[in-house]
Amino acid sequence: MRTSRPGFLLRATATLAAAGLVLTGCGSSEEKPKETKPSPSAPAEPDHEPLTGAELPEGQTAARKHPAYIVKIDNTAASAPQYGLAKADMVVQELVEGGVTRLAVAYYSQLPKEAGPVRSMRATDAGIAAPIDAKIMTSGAAPYTYAQLKKHDVEWIDMSTPYVVRDTSKPHDYLHSVVAKVVKAGRAAAKEGAAKRPADFMPWGDATTKLAGGKPAKAVDVKFSQARTDNWVFRGGKYRLKNNYMGKSGQFLADTVLVAQTRTTIAPYKDPGGAIVPVSHFTGRGKAWILRDGQIVEATWVKKGEKGAVTFTDANGAAIEVPPGKVWLDLIPQGNGQVEPGGVTVK
């Protein structure tokens, strides 16, 4: 697995040769060191994007003047058209109240001018944002959620700032009219000069990495609840979500779709309509499925705490590296969530 440190440098150590013995005219001797040239330094390991694993040209670094951002975006029919997703590095989909889902859309390699429609955070977001020290752009949150994010040192940007604002000119109702000004937030962060390169979100491989042990699966359904099932198709080398709410010109096309079954609990509050609020815990371990190149691979995921990095192993316990590219990650609940490749339910 690649190191996540940018510009990681291995240096060869120059050594001096043993001193030679030189005879003088009167029979005495003295030691003189041989002249040696210092060994050249080994080339720097190429850097790669922390949220996609994409390798950068030699001499370039992924470190930027802004942090990673996660924009919380509604994922119901009322959100159509979602905007800003085409520039995302990664999307995480999580279960919320009513059996519907919400997106945590992550940006680092490039920032959109705007993204949305923006909605509120959930406690689930701690396990998504903390590993990469991302700032969450959100319309707000319940007190319980704020407390959970604070507990894990996750920062957010809400409507008390000029970077998350209401824009009623958007083709949405009032509830779905909040916009994240992502580029504007990035420029402000650059002036502060405190940003650092995020850690790798995935255990990235390189361009030669291939997943072993896969089964053909070019159409896969991922079930969150009775109200939400993703319909994925592999076409033209990319995974396309058939039942999405993205604008036609702003589709997120995934190179890899990852599905992780997570322990799901109920938050100690209800939404304004009285519905229970699920919390998906992206910590611990569970079943996983990796979709890549029209194949599906069964795996196990492990993640130690909200701040921990996720890893994957195959049926034999061998580590799995994720090939570089854009990833869509579905966090489905253990017990209720299902993955159905070719109409066969995998549990």
Decide if 205 contacts 139 (C-beta within 8 A).
no
Distance CA 127, CA 305 (A): 7
Q: Hey, how many other C-beta atoms are within 10 angstroms of the C-beta on 97? A: 18
The pLDDT value recorded for residue 25 is: 34
Which stretch of 24-33, 73-82, 234-243, 273-282 has the lowest confidence by average pLDDT? 24-33
Burial class, 19, CB count within 10 angstroms (exposed 0-12 / middle 13-18 / buried 19+)? exposed
Q: What is the mean pLDDT of residues 5-24?
A: 32
- Asked whether the predicted pLDDT for residue 125 surpasses 70, the reply is yes
Q: Hey, how many other C-beta atoms are within 10 angstroms of the C-beta on 8? A: 12
The pLDDT value recorded for residue 15 is: 33
pTM, 2 dp: 0.86
State the average pLDDT for the chain.
88
- Tens of pLDDT, residue by residue over 127-155, are 999 999 999 999 999 999 999 999 999 99
Decide if 240 contacts 251 (C-beta within 8 A).
yes
- Band (8; pLDDT cuts 50, 70, 90): very low
Q: What is the mean pLDDT of residues 266-284?
A: 95
- Asked whether the predicted pLDDT for residue 71 surpasses 90, the reply is yes
- Asked whether the predicted pLDDT for residue 247 surpasses 60, the reply is yes
Decide if 300 contacts 287 (C-beta within 8 A).
yes
Percent above pLDDT 90 for the chain: 79
The pLDDT value recorded for residue 333 is: 95
Decide if 136 contacts 68 (C-beta within 8 A).
no
Decide if 61 contacts 297 (C-beta within 8 A).
no
Half-sphere exposure of 102 (CA within 13 A, CB side): 27
> Of the ranges 19-28, 322-331, 336-345, which is most confident?
322-331
More confident residue, 347 or 245: 245
- Asked whether the predicted pLDDT for residue 63 surpasses 90, the reply is yes
SS3 annotation, 226-246: CCCEEEEEEECCEEEECCCCE
Decide if 148 contacts 157 (C-beta within 8 A).
no
Q: In the chain, how long is the greatest CA-to-CA distance?
A: 105
- Asked whether the predicted pLDDT for residue 38 surpasses 90, the reply is no
Distance CA 294, CA 22 (A): 71
- Tens of pLDDT, residue by residue over 75-111, are 999 999 999 999 999 999 999 999 999 999 999 999 9
Which residues neighbour 6 within 8 Å (Cβ) at sequence distance 6 or greater? 47, 61, 62, 63, 197
The DSSP annotation for 128-155 comes to: HHGGGTPEEE-S---HHHHHHHHHTT--
